[in-house]
Amino acid sequence: MTYLEFLLPARTAARRCVAKYGRGLFATGVALLTVCAAAAFAIAPLAPDAASLPRRLVNETVYPAALTPQIEALSARELDLSRADLIRAGDNPATLLERLGVADASAAAFLRQDAATKRLFEGRGGSMVQVHSGEDGRLKSLVARSPARRSEQLATHFERLTVARDAQGQWQATAETLALQSQTRLASGTIRSSLFAASDEARIPDAVAVQIAEMFSADIDMHRELRRGDAFSVVYETPTADGEPVAWVSEGNGHVLAAEFISGGKTHQAVWYRGDDGRGGYYDFQGQSKRRAFLASPMEFSRVSSGFAMRFNPIVQSWRAHLGVDYAAPAGTAVRSVGDGVVEVSGQQNGYGNVIQIRHSNDRSTLYAHLSRIDVKKGQRIDQGQRIGAVGATGWATGPHLHFEFRINGRHQDPLRIARASEAVSIAAAAQPNFTAMAQDLRLQLAVAETLVGARGRGE
């Protein structure tokens, strides 16, 4: 009798029982079955422990396959070798293929003559090239990924050029314009000498290291307060072409989503959040903005050459109070306003050379001196972070640098101290639920990124 043949009569009998004796009797039966099941579950743990059962050791001889047939099978298999590199300035088809281990005169000749492939070797280089070749060194295919040729697509698209033989065995080049993809990456590092040295060791882009310094600039003086053993973890997005990070995109390259910095035993955290108004910023996990009314520096992360203190003035050959901060940087480096305000001075002024002075709220002002170029006018309203000029060596300057001052009621103040004490911007209460949900996900990713430090330390 099959299971189905048994089940159908049983179900019919059950229906007749319910019709004849009522649902009460049927419910009693269900309750009895439930009690029996509970009793069986309670008795189940009384079964013998598997660990106490007798064990038996079985020895079996394993004979591996003969080595000679395996070697012959490998010899018969055609190898496919793959290598990748960046095109360098001054490269030509011959030097590129040689560096990639390809020895194929016909492929080199095609790369020299084809109009699409010739463009790869024009300009400063930087295109990513991957080749597949046989064990004899002859080229099977070449794929190059380059910036999009149209300027409006530079930050969003890339061009893929594929070189391979067609069905007739002739070389053919195919060009496509494709959209860049965004990939989320996790990384971490430990400070041994500097932030940039640690980010290089962790293979983190410089743009990410700069953002980390900017995010925590009001909490940590990256020039003077870092200690050996300080650590950081970061979650960031980077544009990719066919899964490979691209180096030619500057705008949006390596956008930091979340970061944690442990310095001097104190933990600082920040996550990126964009509100309904489209404006984004960094906040701690409690929703307190990392943005202050004033930035800690008028330039992106840079070396401070002279702090707010007494110093020997090389121009007048005497010790004088240095009522500002000097930032050593190449001529032409962009200078930004540290806060919102209105331009009070824009022009030349004695030893300051080309100088800009901006008036901020509550009788506060900032001054930017020795500029090589001025990009704002007197009376112009300025936003925090807006570019206002460039580093130079005008006025009483022995070399290219920016002299920066911060004043309250006309009295000079330490810019770093003012930036840390300045008022913060808080997240809107209505956005708090969405922010909390997003921050929780990023907190988990940061925890995973943090484990990468230990893995590198153990050599894994």
Residue 262 and residue 231 in contact, taking contact as beta carbons nearer than 8 Å: yes
d(CA 254, CA 282) in angstroms, rounded, equals 15
- What is the pLDDT tens value at each position of the chain, 460 positions in all? 444 444 445 445 545 554 555 555 445 554 444 444 444 444 444 556 767 778 888 888 888 888 888 888 877 777 788 999 988 888 899 999 999 999 999 999 999 999 888 888 887 678 899 999 988 889 999 999 988 888 778 778 999 999 999 989 899 999 999 999 988 999 999 999 888 889 889 888 888 888 898 888 888 877 778 899 999 999 998 888 998 888 666 555 678 999 999 998 899 999 998 877 677 888 988 888 887 888 878 887 754 444 433 333 444 443 344 467 888 888 998 999 999 999 999 999 888 999 999 999 999 999 999 999 999 999 999 999 899 999 999 998 888 989 999 999 988 888 777 777 766 666 777 788 888 888 889 999 999 988 875 444 433 4
**Residue 4, CB half-sphere, CA atoms under 13 Å: how many?**
0
d(CA 88, CA 140) in angstroms, rounded, equals 22
Which amino acid would we find at residue 88?
Answer: R
Domains and CATH numbers, the chain: 79-179 (3.10.450.350), 182-292 (3.10.450.350), 304-421 (2.70.70.10)
| Three-class secondary structure of residue 351 per DSSP | helix
The model's pTM: 0.62
d(CA 233, CA 90) in angstroms, rounded, equals 38
